[in-house]
Amino acid sequence: MATPTSQLHDTARSAALTTLNEDEEMFRASVREFAEGEIRPRVEAMEEAAKLDADLLKQCFELGLMGIETPEEYGGAGGTFFQAILAVEEVSRVDASVGVCVDVQNTLVGNAFLRYGTEAQKKTYAPQLATDKIGAYCLSEASSGSDAFALQTKAVDKGDHYLLNGQKLWITNGNEAEIFIVFANANPEQGYKGITAFIVEKTFDGITIGKKENKLGIRASSTTEVIFEDCIVPKENLLGELGKGYKVSIETLNEGRIGIGAQMVGIARAAFDAAVAYSGERVQFGKSINTYQGVQFQLAEMAVELEAARLLVYNAARLKDAGLPFVKEAAIAKLHSSRAAEHIASKAIEIFGGYGYVKDYPVEKYWRDCKIGAIYEGTSNMQLMTIAKLITQGKQPLTNG
């Protein structure tokens, strides 16, 4: 049992982990200015076209949002994981489709190269990903969703290269991406221990971008099939060790879940802010509806959920940057933030009344956009499984004090 003194230290440590310093505040402000000035005017058109604006993506690169953690020697911003999380939150507050593009680029693709890439691979690909080329993370398949290690894509050793055959589904950035991290089994008889990560360029022979999904939310973000038919991949494009792709995927997704948490916080913030503003403008029975206790209590509950989600996400990001255990905290952050975003967006629709149900007002989009948070990069049930396993096996206690 923790003593009062240790509890005090835990509280102080938690406060330090979630407080922004001056540089982080300035970074947040610059991303917010960009999101409001450049993204917001394009949101409606991108939503209707179900496509990200190419000029906007170019600006994301120019601002340094696509290589936040990438060291300056590789053309990146040389920032922290926490800054990447702030960027995803601020961008997602305006548009979750752009938010997930920035998120995948930084927390999945970029991180995988920085952690597992050889020096030659980093010199080749990191500058491209930081300055002008979008990446995609190809793991999911028709038969392997939560059971990611049931994947059927195969890689056959042909001496100086591998031949990849298989079909990936639900690939974010599929249409825009030029660099793909692809997981395939190079030794199927060894089960998951044969899974290996490969770097595949869009220009390689044998890679085809398939159908784009017609989605409920984050509609401007492309989610596609990626098909490999005797795709030729040079031996030097193996990412990490042969047969260690499961390690690459698990460890990268652990970080990616914090990014999805940040996306959910951004959406929840947008829905909450809209509800607060509208409740002060909407007059019923001669008074603004935010003067009625029923509405006030709903707003208060939404504020509590939002603040808890934000602190959980920030805490997980701080732990990651500090090199401390964060897997349980990442799972908790993603689980709670996705639930909070869905509930806050739903309540915002109710506060808007009939206006909340039509596309002339923004809150219905927030609900559609946040629903994916309980599904991708690990469903809510998978987060519960991770949390339970770490607690019951004593691998991560309830606190990191």
Predicted confidence at residue 7, as pLDDT, reads 41
Do residues 81 and 320 lie in contact, with contact meaning Cβ atoms separated by under 8 Å?
yes
Q: Would you give the DSSP letter of residue 349?
A: H
Predicted confidence at residue 1, as pLDDT, reads 34
Predicted confidence at residue 134, as pLDDT, reads 98
Rounded CA-CA distance 26/17 in Å is 18
Residues 6+ positions from 182 with CB-CB distance below 8 Å? 138, 153, 164, 168, 197, 198, 199, 200, 226, 228, 233
- Predicted TM-score (pTM) of the model is 0.94
Residues 6+ positions from 390 with CB-CB distance below 8 Å? 327, 328, 331, 396
pLDDT, one tens digit per residue, over 4-45 is 444 434 444 444 456 899 999 999 999 999 999 999 999 999
What percent of the chain is predicted at pLDDT more than 90? 91
Give the residue among 377, 107, 139, 389 at the shortest CA–CA distance from 245.
139
Rounded CA-CA distance 173/177 in Å is 6
Q: Which two tokens stand for residue 99?
A: 């938010």
For 388, left (φ over 0), alpha (ψ -120 to 50), or beta?
alpha
* Residue range 288-305: mean pLDDT, rounded: 98
pLDDT, one tens digit per residue, over 159-206 is 999 999 999 999 999 999 999 999 999 999 999 999 999 999 999 999
Rounded CA-CA distance 112/70 in Å is 11
Predicted confidence at residue 12, as pLDDT, reads 40
Residue type, 363: V
The residues annotated as belonging to the active site are 377
Q: Which two tokens stand for residue 23?
A: 């540089």
CA 19 to chain CA centroid, Å, is: 22
* Domains in the chain: ranges and CATH: 8-134 (1.10.540.10), 136-243 (2.40.110.10), 246-392 (1.20.140.10)
Rounded CA-CA distance 259/155 in Å is 30
Rounded CA-CA distance 98/43 in Å is 9
Rounded CA-CA distance 104/139 in Å is 13
pLDDT, one tens digit per residue, over 317-376 is 999 999 999 999 999 999 999 999 999 999 999 999 999 999 999 999 999 999 999 999
Rounded CA-CA distance 290/280 in Å is 6
Q: Which two tokens stand for residue 177?
A: 């991406």
Instruction: For tokens 């689980």, name the residue.
Output: 335
* Rg value, the chain, Cα: 21
What percent of the chain is predicted at pLDDT more than 70? 94
